[in-house]
Structure 1
């Protein structure tokens, strides 16, 4: 524990929470900095943070696999019936889940979709229809929020309820995630967002539907992963399928929503998250050791030689793992 504490003392800019656990046992856990700089309210382990993709995309993927298990969807099912404008394009559920669809990332279409403005799902889909595919589905991998936005809509059409209601009933409830919700809701105890110690911009929750709109706590993140490991949410077969490589690129090996790596001679599954307002997050599970590291920050700040502030939580997570396993990482492995 002293080793981890000493490391964090060398990260005075870090604001947020961290935990390292083995199974159900917390090895190290602490909070740093302020959740509200204006009122000088400190972060604590119960503070609620927008989680970005770190939680939102796995939630959507797990919900998709639940519907696959029920026979309401299939992994290689074409999306044509849900989105007729992509008819005969060869795009399937598989491509949406592993970022190989070729559909443009709508969050990058900033001339048409302003981050501080509200949009309906119909408006976002109409914007996407104006753009061609970036590549043939399955040909390449390109990290993409659109795939999970579309999966959220598919979940609604297949289940007959709203995406948010489905997630609450079929994931939050069985996993006992009582402190987790969504950005459009009134949330007490939520951290403010900062970038380099200054207030960050507002980002409309409507632009983060099903791909980045979950808000949660450190404890509930652990409950989610515990539920996955216990096969409460999906079967062991489905969980293993999500953790099996579906695409191998030069730097990225992708499962279904999970990034898959070999670090320190160990298999890991991970996901990072960035909320453009200033939140960065990262969770990594080292499967062979049953170890999980979670890093959540409400101040997007440059660390060390890192110029990409969005990867700050990933850097800290990997450096903590390096201390945990007493092994060094190559520089690029700390970020990718």
Structure 2
């Protein structure tokens, strides 16, 4: 791991935690930077980070797949059964899961939905309903937070309990994720959010909901990954379906809750997370290699000229993969 250490020594602005596991065993793990600059408190392996979409969307997708296993719905269930406004749209659960619904992404409606204001998911959806579909469902793909907000509401409607309660009982507890929760839980040991080493802007946690409100530690993320490799959370064929292409385009391939890629000749499933207040994260599982790289950061900053700051965790994760595979990636492959 000398090359990884040498690489990270050059990323002196990085604040967060990095972990690499191979065949279920940790082969590299280290914390960097500060979780509270004012108090002089360093990040450590027990620090909780807002992980954003990184595991929030895979967990929301997994929750839907669990309900499918219980015959509560199917991938082809029309969403009009839950949201009558979309009657006749042809949008199904499949389209929500793989970002092909055509519904507008509510985070693109910032003038109508203030990021610093509290909103219920239903209030956000009422605003979204005023917008026309961006394209015919299934014809294109565009990363979509609204789809996962809607999936979270469906989980609640079908389970009869709040989304957060369902996830605690059916994912966190089953996987042994004892240090994982949601931003609004006000958990201790939490890394503060920074942008370029200064406290980042306030973003209401109500904006994130089923899309990105999960808070976790590096150890709990390991437990989640391990649980995905057994049948603790879902049947083997369900997990395999989630990790298989359900939409393949020129620039992106989606499974259900995961991005599907082939990087440097290695198949991977991945997801990044970006909280505009100052968190960036990335998980990539190289399936045939049984290798997982996780990067959690609480300071959005630039690690290279031309790179997009908000993709910093992805940038570092892919650089580390290139080192491990003794290969090279194009610059754009390090961010998308």
**Fold similarity call, TM over 0.5:** yes
Aligned partner of 1:57 in structure 2 is 57
Q: Does 1:104 align with 2:104?
A: yes
Deviation at 1:334, TM superposition (A): 1.3
Deviation at 1:305, TM superposition (A): 2.1
In 1, Cα distance between the equivalents of 2:122 and 2:175? 32
Q: Deviations over 1:258-314 (max 9, x none)?
A: 101111211100000001101000000000010000001000001112431111000
Aligned partner of 1:87 in structure 2 is 87
Matches within 5 A, 1:186-197: 186-197=186-197
Aligned partner of 2:234 in structure 1 is 234
Q: Deviations over 1:103-132 (max 9, x none)?
A: 001111111100000012221121011111
Q: Is the 8 A contact 1:175 1:227 kept in 2?
A: yes
In 1, Cα distance between the equivalents of 2:244 and 2:24? 24
Q: Is the 8 A contact 1:100 1:142 kept in 2?
A: yes
Structure 1: which 5+ residue stretches go unaligned? none
Q: Is the 8 A contact 2:285 2:293 kept in 1?
A: yes
In 2, Cα distance between the equivalents of 1:23 and 1:38? 39
Aligned partner of 2:250 in structure 1 is 250
How many residues in Structure 1 have an aligned counterpart in Structure 2? Answer: 336
In 2, Cα distance between the equivalents of 1:141 and 1:188? 38
**Aligned-residue CA RMSD (Å):** 0.8
Q: Is the 8 A contact 1:306 1:312 kept in 2?
A: no
Q: Is the 8 A contact 1:20 1:292 kept in 2?
A: yes
In 2, Cα distance between the equivalents of 1:326 and 1:122? 48
Aligned partner of 1:287 in structure 2 is 287
In 2, Cα distance between the equivalents of 1:306 and 1:166? 41
TM-score in terms of structure 2 length: 0.99
In 2, Cα distance between the equivalents of 1:103 and 1:18? 35
Q: Which moved more, 1:117-126 or 1:171-180?
A: 117-126
In 1, Cα distance between the equivalents of 2:126 and 2:72? 26
